[in-house]
Structure 1
Amino acid sequence: MRGGRIKHLSSFYIIQCILIILFPLYTQSLSFNYTDALTKSLLYFEAQRSGHLPYNQRVTWRGHSGLTDGLQQGVDLVGGYYDAGDHVKFGLPMAFTVTMLSWSVIEFGEEIAAAGEYQHALEAIKWGTDYFIKAHTHPYILWAEVGDGDTDHYCWQRPEDMTTSRQAYKIDKDNPGSDLAGETAAAMAAASIVFKELNPHYSHLLLHHAQQLFKFGDKYRGEYDASVEEVRSYYASVSGYRDELLWAALWLHWATGLDEYLEYVVENAESMGGNGWAMIEFSWDVKYAGLQILATKLLLNGEHHEIHKHVLEEYKSKADYYICACLGKNNGSNADRSPGGMLYIRQWNNLQYVSSAAFLLTVYYEYLNAAQQRELLCPDGLVRTDELLALAKTQADYILGANPMKMSYMVGFGSKYPTKVHHRGASIVSYKESNGFIGCTQGFDDWFGRGWENPNVLVGAIVGGPNCEDKFRDDRGNYMQTEACTYNTAPMVGVFAKLNQLAEKPAKDILSRTSYSFGQM
């Protein structure tokens, strides 16, 4: 037995020595360029800009668009983002996008700056928050949407040629939308943290709007899709508004340090489901997992009164549920996986859930490590916190090309990626090359139906992605898989920044953790 153990250990050390020699070459061949991925992810938001484009616009095939938005209603609603491949400005997913961009900068600002992308990240956030300031025209009025999804989907035009309705829709005290008000408050509160040192006046302005919006959403309660019926077919609020109000309160607590917001989160934990709902999804609609992880941060850091500890522990138990479900360690109540290892939630635009999970795994890893907690107790046993980051990396790598299709689902990254993205502007020749007007149906006839690659590359866009069997069909009409959304890419900004930092560590530092993984294989 002893001799056999010595032989086993000798073999192990020989393997380690081989790994030390070959590891740099191995990682070079298999790892991805996360700096490039980060750069391209931020570039994508410039392609989604609505309004009057700035002088330093880098996506040169785009031009000014939506310059009369809000004119019919007597309000300036020029600016903001198109959420996906069409030209409607939907407030709820836009706000979530900005919240996630801001959270990425708050947590991984140094890593983003080290990659030379900090200014671009700030510009991406500010393009959204500038619009939210315009859209919040009164303490109890928030413009929820510009454009009409139904008429927009009848046309296939460049944004510069838009002939579809630019009707604007609002929520107010008679037509409430607590979910929209709450998410917009969260976005502006999170952004106020980002700009606090860099631009105190702007930060204060954002915080002022955030506090007003939270008060509005809490005082006049209701789902926004009951007030703005036009949004129901596109961004219906399935989870209701309670998660957004709790979410907004947590962000306001972080931004202000005021106890009243934390007390709101604690006192309403049970009635609003904060410590009751256990989720395996985090998205533009369902915020529970995100707010539970934010609440856990307060608990781990000791940033709470003792009387709040019990409720925050309940929040943590639900945060652990989400993380353990992603890891497949949750006593059977787990997130599904594709054969290739992709987390799978649902058929339509599944990569939005993959990117949001990768972010929460990464940020929870950071919170646990900061609290000197190296293990997490899941129903199926102890998990090393390194495994959270490892899973986030596998999901990021899957998006970038480590998948059965060997395709990058980030457009413009790598040598093989979707070339027929469901996106009006990208699929039609740039107006700068051909400035002749392209009509509503002409776009379908001349551009949508052709089998050619898009003339403009939508760099940095993360498409909907493959199905549960890792299958993907690159077809413009296959919108469930080939349409990209801003909230797919936004969470990956922080993830790519973190992975880029880790990739730059010496090989021997990475190897110190490799033996654990090797031993588990």
Structure 2
Amino acid sequence: MALPYSLVLIFLLFCLSSPPPLSNAQHNPLNHRHHRLFSGQNYSDALSKSILFFEGQRSGKLPPDQRITWRGDSALSDGSTLHVDLVGGYYDAGDNVKFGFPMAFTATMLSWSAIEFGGLMQAELQNAREAIRWATDYLLKATAEPDTIHVQVGDANKDHACWERPEDMDTPRNVLKVDRNNPGSDVAAETAAALAAASLVFRRSDPTYAKLLLGRAIRVFEFADKYRGAYSNGNLKSFVCPFYCSYSGFQDELLWGAAWLHRASKNQTYLNYIQVNGQNLGADQSDTTFGWDNKHVGARILLSKAFLVQKVQSLHEYKGHADNYICSLLPGPSSQAQYTPGGLLFKMSDSNMQYVTSTAFVLLTYAKYLTSAHNVVNCGGAAVCPKSLRTLAKKQVDYLLGDNPKKMSYMVGYGGRYPLRIHHRGSSLPSVASHPAKIQCSSGFSSFNSESPNPNILVGAVVGGPDQQDQFADQRSDYQQSEPATYINAPFVGALAYLAHSFPHL
């Protein structure tokens, strides 16, 4: 329930005079002041590199202005077995498979980053748009046939049995799809979300493309909703699990997709859909993890904006749900979060940084919405101000960039010390330019097992990160800690854009 306006004013005054402290485990990060502060971290440099990373993940025919030049063309016949064009898109992480589910989430989060903070990106906004378009051009190809989405190219099990450059790839390029007979509401609704969010990014710069994206998003969402089921429960299970199983089900994606279509189209149909179906789609579930699989938190934050800023009163409950999530991160009776001794949010040992970057983005975005609405977070009757959310987000970003017990940046190529042996085939093997001869499937494992640093620097890649005790071994074989992924970087782009503007480098 929304707080009475008189209480909001009291809470705001309280916020201004006495911001809630953070726990000792978080080392009492500096409170924000109203004027711009200078930072020890170079957020502008990190922003540029976080976007550049996506060029290292490109599949397909590379453009003349490709900046990560040790990469080459790859997978130029993808889709040919089914007589469709599926060339392009992104490899999700350190392998050579194109997984549509995390790729769509990557596109959604890159788009959300540009929507909220693109005005602060300056010269990097065009690079961000290019990163988004590389994904959405592919998603348009994957959804070209009505009631069908091509959701994966490549056999993950056979791909993972090899250690080879994408330019040499000779493992099967099987094409997996969902359709009326084999539904996949999760991957379909996430794809609809990606296309709808991207349509907002291109609305002014390329209105024709934006219209195409939104029209396709509408069609894809209709398919997702009409033919319900999780894509990993049917014929695709042995191919997509355990890699990108839909553990949270498909309900969160339907709510998330509808939220994005409501924002992009302003069509009352989607608001009605959310009002009628929200509870059945898990709107009030107490999820506290936001990532490629579970979108409930993102949907709550997104729908809170419609209530806070657009004053859509029927969505007031999402403000309460969003507050509950924020309260779960902060010290106090509602806290459910774990932090390492050095202050890093810790969700799980496998690729923990994906949750750090998504949480930092959500904190900054919700703080933006609250500030616009002159509102606060209500944690059991106590007010938490937007600046407290920004403080926590900044601490997480600073830890990632090097303010941590190891004094290590977990972004490759940023800072004086960063991971040298990342779990990434293209980065760890000699480039085609330096070694033109093909490197066979099993031959690459000599590089995999080597203690030498990777010969090719995948600038901007954020790896999985340290363990619960802030330890990081920098071993190529440890994919949980050392593998980068597109969905780690995507929300980080938005967080860095905000911080680069608010905390310019010394």
TM over 0.5: yes
1:404-483 to structure 2, matched below 5 A, reads 404-444=405-445, 446-483=446-483
- Looking at structure 2, the residues matched to 192 and 328 of structure 1 have their Cα atoms a distance apart, in angstroms, of 38
AA partner of residue 307 (structure 2): L
AA partner of residue 344 (structure 1): F
AA partner of residue 293 (structure 1): I
* 294, 301, 306: which one aligns with 2:302: 294
1:316-395 to structure 2, matched below 5 A, reads 316-329=319-332, 331-373=333-375, 375-379=376-380, 381-395=382-396
Write the deviation string for residues 34-55 of structure 1: whole angstroms up to 9, x where unpaired: 0100000000000000000000
Write the deviation string for residues 228-284 of structure 1: whole angstroms up to 9, x where unpaired: 22001100001111110111111111111101101111111111111x212211000
Asked if 1:278 is matched to 2:286, the reply is yes
Unaligned runs of at least 5 residues, structure 2: 1-32
Write the deviation string for residues 418-452 of structure 1: whole angstroms up to 9, x where unpaired: 000000000001001111110000001x3111110
User: How far off its partner does 1:314 sit?
Assistant: 1.9
- Looking at structure 1, the residues matched to 474 and 49 of structure 2 have their Cα atoms a distance apart, in angstroms, of 20
Give 2:260's aligned residue.
Answer: 251
Give 2:170's aligned residue.
Answer: 163
Give 1:99's aligned residue.
Answer: 108
Q: Secondary structure at the residue paired with 2:120?
A: helix
Give 1:50's aligned residue.
Answer: 59
- Looking at structure 1, the residues matched to 432 and 311 of structure 2 have their Cα atoms a distance apart, in angstroms, of 53
User: How far off its partner does 1:382 sit?
Assistant: 2.1
Q: Secondary structure at the residue paired with 2:480?
A: helix
Write the deviation string for residues 322-361 of structure 1: whole angstroms up to 9, x where unpaired: 11111223x1442111111101111110010000000000
- Looking at structure 1, the residues matched to 98 and 356 of structure 2 have their Cα atoms a distance apart, in angstroms, of 24
- Looking at structure 2, the residues matched to 233 and 279 of structure 1 have their Cα atoms a distance apart, in angstroms, of 21
Write the deviation string for residues 87-126 of structure 1: whole angstroms up to 9, x where unpaired: 010001000000000001101111012xx10110000000
AA partner of residue 492 (structure 2): M
Write the deviation string for residues 380-423 of structure 1: whole angstroms up to 9, x where unpaired: 73222201001110000011001111100001100100000000
TM (normalized to structure 1)? 0.88
- Looking at structure 1, the residues matched to 487 and 175 of structure 2 have their Cα atoms a distance apart, in angstroms, of 22
Report if the CA contact (8 A) 1:145-1:169 is conserved.
yes
1:479-490 to structure 2, matched below 5 A, reads 479-490=479-490
Return the structure number with greater helix share. 1
Q: Secondary structure at the residue paired with 1:362?
A: helix
User: How far off its partner does 1:137 sit?
Assistant: 2.5
Unaligned runs of at least 5 residues, structure 1: 1-22, 508-521
Give 2:155's aligned residue.
Answer: 148
AA partner of residue 319 (structure 1): A
User: How far off its partner does 1:221 sit?
Assistant: 0.2
Give 1:82's aligned residue.
Answer: 91
Write the deviation string for residues 186-206 of structure 1: whole angstroms up to 9, x where unpaired: 000000011111111111111
Higher alpha-carbon deviation: 223-232 or 31-40: 223-232
Task: Report % sequence identity.
Answer: 50
AA partner of residue 291 (structure 1): A
Aligned length: 469
Report if the CA contact (8 A) 1:279-1:321 is conserved.
no
Asked if 1:108 is matched to 2:108, the reply is no
Report if the CA contact (8 A) 1:253-1:262 is conserved.
yes
AA partner of residue 217 (structure 1): A
Report if the CA contact (8 A) 1:400-1:407 is conserved.
yes
Give 2:18's aligned residue.
Answer: none
Report if the CA contact (8 A) 1:326-1:357 is conserved.
no
Give 1:17's aligned residue.
Answer: none
- Looking at structure 2, the residues matched to 368 and 303 of structure 1 have their Cα atoms a distance apart, in angstroms, of 12
Write the deviation string for residues 130-154 of structure 1: whole angstroms up to 9, x where unpaired: 0001111312000010001100010
Higher alpha-carbon deviation: 83-92 or 219-228: 219-228
AA partner of residue 56 (structure 1): D
- Looking at structure 2, the residues matched to 278 and 480 of structure 1 have their Cα atoms a distance apart, in angstroms, of 26
Give 1:497's aligned residue.
Answer: 497
- Looking at structure 2, the residues matched to 137 and 372 of structure 1 have their Cα atoms a distance apart, in angstroms, of 43
Residues 298/449 of structure 1: CA separation in 2 closer, same or farther (3 Å cut): same
Q: Secondary structure at the residue paired with 1:169?
A: strand
Cα RMSD over matched residues?
A: 1.4
AA partner of residue 105 (structure 1): A
Give 2:228's aligned residue.
Answer: 221
Q: Secondary structure at the residue paired with 1:224?
A: coil
Report if the CA contact (8 A) 2:43-2:500 is conserved.
yes
- Looking at structure 2, the residues matched to 389 and 31 of structure 1 have their Cα atoms a distance apart, in angstroms, of 16
Report if the CA contact (8 A) 2:178-2:184 is conserved.
yes
AA partner of residue 401 (structure 1): G
- Looking at structure 2, the residues matched to 43 and 318 of structure 1 have their Cα atoms a distance apart, in angstroms, of 35
Give 2:134's aligned residue.
Answer: 127
Q: Taking CA–CA contacts closer than 8 Å with sequence separation of 6 or more, which of the two structures ends up with the larger relative contact order?
A: 2
Asked if 1:193 is matched to 2:195, the reply is no
AA partner of residue 369 (structure 1): T
- Looking at structure 2, the residues matched to 376 and 314 of structure 1 have their Cα atoms a distance apart, in angstroms, of 13
**Larger Cα Rg: Structure 1 or Structure 2?**
1
- Looking at structure 2, the residues matched to 431 and 372 of structure 1 have their Cα atoms a distance apart, in angstroms, of 55
- Looking at structure 2, the residues matched to 327 and 333 of structure 1 have their Cα atoms a distance apart, in angstroms, of 6
Report if the CA contact (8 A) 2:329-2:335 is conserved.
no
User: How far off its partner does 1:303 sit?
Assistant: 4.0
Report if the CA contact (8 A) 1:223-1:240 is conserved.
yes
AA partner of residue 296 (structure 1): S
AA partner of residue 317 (structure 2): E
AA partner of residue 57 (structure 2): Q
Asked if 1:33 is matched to 2:33, the reply is no
Give 2:3's aligned residue.
Answer: none
Give 1:6's aligned residue.
Answer: none
- Looking at structure 2, the residues matched to 499 and 204 of structure 1 have their Cα atoms a distance apart, in angstroms, of 31
AA partner of residue 162 (structure 1): M
Asked if 1:265 is matched to 2:269, the reply is no
Q: Secondary structure at the residue paired with 1:393?
A: helix
